[in-house]
Amino acid sequence: MSVQIQITDEKLHKLYAAMDKHKTKPGPLMPTLHDAQKIFGCVPLEIQKMIATELKESIAKINGVVTFYGQFSIVPKGEKIIGVCLGTACYVRGSQGILDAFADDLKLKVGETSEDGKFTLQATRCIGACGLAPVFTVNETVYGNVSVQKAKEIMKTIR
């Protein structure tokens, strides 16, 4: 089951205020998309169309940017995004087992969001913390030198 996006008048007001601010500067698309992602939790096609109209850009260009960059999503993500690094250093030190443990615990496949909207499970590539391998993140918090057991303990605290 997927989490539903909430498009409210308040959120739309924030988006249009952000676009008005960014339109006065060169290159308004990226900051606008970042704001839209923050406001709505994703940048679905409906929001992309509004941005296209307001910034006088093609929907194809906007959709291309949204689908190219990993920080944007077209579907809502959970409140807590768990990203397990599968880069070489992490992988050879057991990160696949950590990812599997999270998948089992959360009853999610990689890329899925829990029905309650609390968790999204992601497999990531190198996050630049190879000396701490294996690592995973919960939103912006990095957990390093993690074993499957330690990951399970951390999961209990973040629930």
Nearest one of 147, 131, 49, 137 to 96, comparing CA atoms = 147
Cβ-Cβ contacts under 8 Å for 84 (sequence gap 6 or more): 90, 95, 98, 99, 102, 121, 122, 123, 124, 134, 136
Cβ-Cβ contacts under 8 Å for 108 (sequence gap 6 or more): 102, 114, 119, 120, 121
In a domain, 2, yes or no: no
Residue 76: per-residue pLDDT: 87
**Angle between helix 59-68 and 29-40 (nearest 10):** 70
Residues 85 and 151 in one domain: yes
In a domain, 3, yes or no: no
In a domain, 106, yes or no: yes
Nearest one of 79, 78, 139 to 113, comparing CA atoms = 78
Domain count, the chain: 2
Q: Give the span between the Cα atoms of 57 and 134, in whole angstroms.
A: 42
- Among 32, 47, 68, which residue terminates a domain? 68
Residue 69: per-residue pLDDT: 87
Residues 101 and 62 in one domain: no
Residue 41: per-residue pLDDT: 85
Task: Write out pLDDT tens, residues 12-48.
Answer: 999 999 999 999 999 999 999 999 999 998 999 999 9
Strand-strand pairing, 80-85 and 136-138: antiparallel
Residue 3: per-residue pLDDT: 57
The domain in which residue 120 lies consists of 80-158
The whole-number average pLDDT for the span 110-132 is 92
Predicted model pTM: 0.72
Q: Is the pLDDT of residue 1 over 70?
A: no
Residue 5: per-residue pLDDT: 79
Q: Give me the percent of the chain exceeding a pLDDT of 90.
A: 83
Residues 64 and 95 in one domain: no
Residues 43 and 95 in one domain: no
Task: Write out pLDDT tens, residues 68-98.
Answer: 987 888 988 888 999 999 999 999 999 999 9
Nearest one of 38, 37, 8 to 48, comparing CA atoms = 37
Q: Give the span between the Cα atoms of 142 and 83, in whole angstroms.
A: 9
Residues 61 and 92 in one domain: no
Q: Give the span between the Cα atoms of 109 and 85, in whole angstroms.
A: 15
Residues 64 and 84 in one domain: no
Residues 40 and 85 in one domain: no
The answer to which of 9-13, 37-41, 51-55 has the lowest mean pLDDT is 37-41
In a domain, 4, yes or no: no
Please give the residue that has the higher pLDDT: either 125 or 131.
131
**Surface-to-core class of residue 91, CB atoms within 10 Å of its CB (0-12 exposed, 13-18 middle, 19+ buried):** middle
The whole-number average pLDDT for the span 40-66 is 96
CATH number at residue 92: 3.40.30.10
